[in-house]
Structure 1
Amino acid sequence: MKMSCRRAFDIHYSRSTVQLQVGDSLDIFWLGCAGLITAEANPVPQRPRGFERHSAPFGRDFLQHPRASGWKCPDFIRRSVVVEVDDVVGASHAHFSGRSGMRPPHGGVVRIAEAREKLAVGDAVGALAALRSALEANPSREAQTLAARALRRLDRHAEAAALLAAAFEQHPDDPIIAHNLAAARGDAGDHAGAAVAARRAIQLRDAPESWLVLGRALQAAGDLADAQAALADAVARRPGYIDALKTLAQLIWMRTGDPGAALEPLHRALLASPSPDLAAMTCGVMRDISGPDEAYRFIQPWTGRGSAAVELAASAAAARLDMASQNLHAEAAVALAPTLAEAQHALATGQLAQGRLEPALEGLERWLALAPHDQIALGLQRTAWRLAGRPEALDASDYSRLVRVYDIETPPGFSTRAAWLDALATALRGLHSFRAEPFGQSVRAGAQSRTDPRWAGDPVIDATFAAFEAPLAAYVADMDASDPMGARAGGARIAGAWSVKLTSGGRHSDHVHSRGWVSSAFYVAVPEPVSSDPRAGWLRFGAATLGPGVELPPEHWVEPRPGRLALFPSWLWHGTEPFSGAGERLTIAFDAQPSGT
C-alpha cells in the first residue's frame, strides 16, 4: 500500500493506530519505526516469531534477528528499527539519507518521536523538553496529547487538564482527547469538570474506560448512587474489566460494609470472563474483607499455572496463615517475574519471618541497587537489620531524628485554636461518606475520605494545608544526606492527601507508604484518654507483623494532640495503638515527594 507522507499524517491524527503493508515501496515506513504508527509485514513468505497479523511494531528482538524463520528483512527496515529502540533523531535522518529522493521528517515530527521514546523509558521531564518547540505555535494534536501525558506523570494534573482543554477546543469530536481531559481533571480535583468531559467522551464513543472515569468523578463528588451505576455500566460493556470491577466492588463495600454484596460482581465476572488477573484481584479483595482463610481457599485452584499475579495473591493470603506456603508462592512469583517489586517484597518478608536473614538481606541489597527508592524494600531492610542485630539498625537517636513533631500555629482568620480545629473537623466530616475502609489500606474499623481534602474547595482546609508548608520545608531541609531520604533532598511537594476517621476499636495496621517519600499524620480530633491504657490511639513506629506469630514490638511513639503534625520517612514502619475510649480520631495524612519528581 503506497501512501504519501501527508496522507499518512492525516490518518495517524484521526486514529490511534494505522496498519500498513510493507511492500516493494513504503516511503513512510519511518513513521512506524518512530513509534507513531504500527506496520504489518505482508505479503511475506514467512513472518518472524512474534510478528502478529494485525498490529506489530518492530522491536529489539526483530532488529537482532532480521532473517528469523527465513524471512528476508529489507535493509531500510533494519535501519528504521533503530529509530524505535535507540536514537530517534539520528536513526531517522540516517534512514532518509540512505534512501534517494526522500527527505527527513520536519523538526516537529522528530521532536514528537523523541518525546515518545523518552516517555517509554520514564523520562517525562525529557519528553516535555523535546516537545517545547512543537508546542509553541499551532501545536498538533499529537504534541498536545504527549505533553499532557508527561505532565500527568509528573503529577502536574492541572497543567495537563488545561492543555487537553485547549486541544479539545480544536478537536471537539475526538473521544480520546475528551476521555483524557476527563481523567486529567479528575486527577486535578475538578470532579464536576471531569464528569462533564467523561459524559462528552461517552457521547462520542461509548467506551468502558470513560464510564470508569465518570464513576470515579461522581464518587469523589459524593454522588455515590450515580457513581455505582456508572461503574456498573463500565462492567456491562466489558465484563472482565478489572479496574472497573475493583472500583465497583470497593464502592459497594465502603457504602455498605457487606462482604457478600461487594464480592457479588467479582464472582459474576469470573463466571463470564475468567482470567488469572481477575482471580488474583478477587483474592486480594477477599483477603481484606472476608479473611485470609477464605481468600486462600479461593485462589489455590488458580496457582501453579504460570501467573505471577496469582502467586502473589496466594502469597499475601498465606502470609496470615502459614509462612511455608507464603514462601513457596513468593518464590514462584519471583521466578515468573523477577523484576516485579511486589514479588521481591513477598520473598523477603517470607524469608525474614522464617528467620532466613542472610538470604533476605542479600536479596534486598541486590534489589535496592536496582530500585534505591523502593520504600517497602527500605523498610524491610531495616527490619532485617533489627532482626540480625546489625549496627545499622535504628536506635532511639535515629527515631528522634527521623520522626519530627510540629504543633501547628493557628492559621490567620481564626480567633482561637479551638475555633480553627472545630471548623476543620466540620469540613472534613463532610468528606466522609463511607461506612468501611478502602481495599488494601491500613485502616481498620474506620473510613477514609471520598476525595483528597485539597480538592474540596474549603477555605479552612486550604488554610490548614498552607500551614503545613513551613514544617514540611524545615523537615526536608534538616535531612541527613547520608540516609536514603536525604540523598533526594532539595524541596518537597505534597503528592496526595486523605482524611481518616476512626471510632472506638479503630486503628491503623502497621505499614509503610510505597508511593511516598515523606509521610505524615495531622490530628484534628482525638478520643478521650483511657487511664488503663495511656498510649491508646498513639502513633507508633517500628512495629511490624511479618507472619503468624512473628511480630516486632514498637520502638517509638508520638502522642496525638489536636493541631499536631508528625512527619517521618515513608519507609518507616508505623501504625496506631487501638483505642476504646469515647469520641473519634479524625486526621489528615499526606505523602510528599521531592520537588521536580
Structure 2
Amino acid sequence: MTTDPLDQAKAHLDAGRLDEALAITGPLAERADAPHRALAMHSTALKGAGRREEALGFDMRAVARFANSGVAWHNLAATLGDLGRGREAVKAMGEAFLRGIDGALSWGVMARAQAAAGDLDRAEQAYQETLKRAPARIETAAEYADVIWMRRGDLASAQAVLDRAAHAGGPPAPLLLAKAKLYAAAGEPEKGADLLALAADRMPDDPAIQMAAAQAALERGRLAEAEARALAAETLFPDGPGVLNQLAIVYLALGKPDLALAKARKGLEIAPEDQSLWGWAATAARAVGDPLYSELYDYDAMVGVYDIAPPAGYASLDAYLAELTAALDRIHLYNEHPSAQSLRHGSQTTYRLTGSDEPAIQAFFKAIDAPIRQHIARMGEGTDPVRRRRTGDYRIEGAWSVRLRPGGFHMDHFHPEGWLSSAFYVETPDSALDSAEKQGWIRFGQPPFKTVPVLPAEHHVRPKPGRLVLFPSYMWHGTVPFTTDERRLTIAFDAVPA
C-alpha cells in the first residue's frame, strides 16, 4: 500500500470518501510551499463536497504559484465555470491554451465557459474541437446535442451528434439514454420508450437501461412491461436506492401503494438523505393513509410565501423587477427547454446565476437572504428530513431562470439534489392567474405519473411579481398550464444546509 499521503487522498476521492480526502489534503494545501498536486486535489475534494467558492481560492493560489502550468489554469477555468463565472473562465482557459493545453477535457471546459459567457457560436465550436479529440466521449456529445436542441429545436441535428459518438465507439447505454430524453423533449416519447425497450432487451445486464425502460413504459401506460423491467433491475442491483425508487413508482401505478412504501422505506435505510426516495415515500404514504405523509407535507410549516423588499439602491420593487427582467432576458439565449428538465414551451438558463456579473441578478441573492433565513427559523424543530438537517445556515447549490411562453408549464417534479427549493416570480401571466383553473399558479402534491388511487394537487400559491415561494426539495410542485398570450419569468434555486 502506498505511503504517499496524496496517493492515499486520491484513493479516498476515487471511492467517494470526501471527508477522508479533505482531512489529508487540507493541511498539505494550506502550507505556504504546497505542491501543485496538493492544491489541485484539495480543490477537487472541496468541489465534490459542494464547497466551490473555497475550492476557487486554492485554484487561484495554484495559478499564482505555478503561473506557467497549463493544468493550473485549466483547473481554475473549470472551477470558475462551475460557479457560473463564464467570462472569467474563458480568459483562464485561454491562458491554459497558451501554455500548451489542448486536450478534449480542456476544450470541454471552454465549451461550457463560452456558453456561460453567452457566446453560443464559440461554445459550439469548442464542443466540435472536443469531439475531434475524443469522438466517443459521451458526456460531451450529450451536452452538445442538448445545446443544438435548445438553440434550434433541431432534433435531427442533435440526434446526429449522438449517432456520431456511437459510431466512434462510445458506450451505447448513456447514448441511448440521452437520445430517449431528446425524443421526449421533442414531443416523441413513444419513440423514446420503444428505443429503451429495445435497448433493455439487448442489454439485460444494465440496471440503468432497465430502469429507464421501466419508467418510459410506465409513462406510456405499459404497466406490465414497466413492472418486468423494474424487477429485472432489482435482480441486478437489489440494494440500489435508484432501483428501489423505480419499483416504488411502478407499484404506485399498479395500485400497490403498500409495496411502494415498503420499497421506498428500504431505500431510505440505505440512503437516508435521498430526496427522490423521500418524495416517493411521501406519495405512497398518502395513498395508504400512513402518518408519514402529514409529517412530510406540512404545508403550513414547510411552504413559505415571502414578498421581497426592494434591494438596496432601488427606488421601488417595480423599478428593481424591471431591471431584473432586462438582465434575465439578456441571458435567456435558448429557444427550447433542456431535454432533461421539467419545463415545456419555454427556455431555461444553463449556468449558475450566483456567478452572474449582472448587478440586478447579484442584488437578487442579497434580497432573498433574509426570507430564506426567516423560513429556516420558522419551520422549527422536527425529525423530518428537512428540519432535522437545519444548521442555521445555508448555501445556494444551484440557481437558474425559466421563461415560459404562452401555453408553457412545469411538469410536476421535485429536486433530488436540493434541501429547500424555490420559485421567485419576476413576471407573471396576470390575466391567466385570475382564471377559475388557477392557470399559471404553482401547485403542490400532485405526482407527475399515474398513481392508483389518483392523487391530485392539494395546495396552490398564486404567483405575484416579487414573490418568493420556499418549500422542501422532495415536495411535488408544478405549474398549472396557462393559455393566455402572456409569458412567465422566474428564478429558481436549491439551497442546502451549510
* TM-score, length basis structure 2: 0.92
Report Cα offsets for 1:140-159 as digits up to 9, x if no partner: 12211111112212333233
Structure 1 unaligned spans of 5+: 1-32, 35-91, 93-108
CA contact (8 A) 1:476 1:492 kept: no
Deviation at 1:124, TM superposition (A): 3.3
The one-letter code sitting in structure 2 at the alignment partner of 1:183 is A
Question: 2:88 is matched with which residue?
Answer: 193
CA distance in 1, matches of 2:123, 2:103: 16
1:230-269 aligned within 5 A: 230-269=126-165
Of structures 1 and 2, the larger Rg is shown by 1
CA distance in 2, matches of 1:499, 1:283: 25
Report Cα offsets for 1:312-355 as digits up to 9, x if no partner: 33223212111221222222223223454432222210111101
RMSD in angstroms over aligned alpha carbons? 2.2
CA contact (8 A) 2:427 2:488 kept: yes
CA distance in 2, matches of 1:261, 1:132: 46
Match of residue 483, structure 2, among 573, 580, 595: 580
CA contact (8 A) 1:281 1:313 kept: no
The reply to whether residue 543 of structure 1 matches residue 446 of structure 2 is: yes
1:481-500 aligned within 5 A: 481-490=382-391, 491-500=393-402
Question: 1:512 is matched with which residue?
Answer: 414
Deviation at 1:202, TM superposition (A): 4.6
CA contact (8 A) 1:528 1:582 kept: no
Question: 2:274 is matched with which residue?
Answer: 374
Question: 1:166 is matched with which residue?
Answer: 61
Classify the secondary structure of the residue corresponding to 1:545. coil
CA distance in 1, matches of 2:19, 2:412: 35
The reply to whether residue 128 of structure 1 matches residue 22 of structure 2 is: yes
Question: 1:560 is matched with which residue?
Answer: 463
Of 523-532 and 363-372, more deviation after overlay is shown by 523-532
CA distance in 2, matches of 1:338, 1:376: 17
1:120-159 aligned within 5 A: 120-134=14-28, 135-159=30-54
Question: 1:386 is matched with which residue?
Answer: 286
Structure 2 unaligned spans of 5+: none
Deviation at 1:211, TM superposition (A): 1.2
User: CA, structure 1 residues 185+396, in 2 after alignment: closer, same or farther (shift >3 Å)?
Assistant: closer
Question: 1:410 is matched with which residue?
Answer: 310
CA contact (8 A) 2:104 2:133 kept: yes
User: CA, structure 1 residues 116+237, in 2 after alignment: closer, same or farther (shift >3 Å)?
Assistant: closer
Deviation at 1:422, TM superposition (A): 1.1
CA contact (8 A) 2:252 2:452 kept: no
Question: 1:23 is matched with which residue?
Answer: none
Match of residue 336, structure 2, among 433, 436, 440: 436
User: CA, structure 1 residues 343+232, in 2 after alignment: closer, same or farther (shift >3 Å)?
Assistant: farther
| Identity in percent | 36
Question: 1:467 is matched with which residue?
Answer: 367
Deviation at 1:413, TM superposition (A): 1.5
CA distance in 2, matches of 1:225, 1:551: 46
Question: 1:332 is matched with which residue?
Answer: 232
Question: 1:526 is matched with which residue?
Answer: 428
Question: 2:118 is matched with which residue?
Answer: 222
CA contact (8 A) 1:292 1:318 kept: no
Classify the secondary structure of the residue corresponding to 1:478. helix
CA distance in 2, matches of 1:459, 1:155: 25
CA distance in 2, matches of 1:396, 1:376: 13
Number of residues of Structure 1 aligned to a counterpart in Structure 2: 489
Deviation at 1:169, TM superposition (A): 4.2
Of 516-525 and 423-432, more deviation after overlay is shown by 423-432
The one-letter code sitting in structure 2 at the alignment partner of 1:567 is L
User: CA, structure 1 residues 119+265, in 2 after alignment: closer, same or farther (shift >3 Å)?
Assistant: closer
The reply to whether residue 312 of structure 1 matches residue 200 of structure 2 is: no
Of 185-194 and 116-125, more deviation after overlay is shown by 116-125
Of 576-585 and 554-563, more deviation after overlay is shown by 576-585
CA contact (8 A) 1:283 1:313 kept: no
Classify the secondary structure of the residue corresponding to 2:78. helix
Deviation at 1:130, TM superposition (A): 2.9
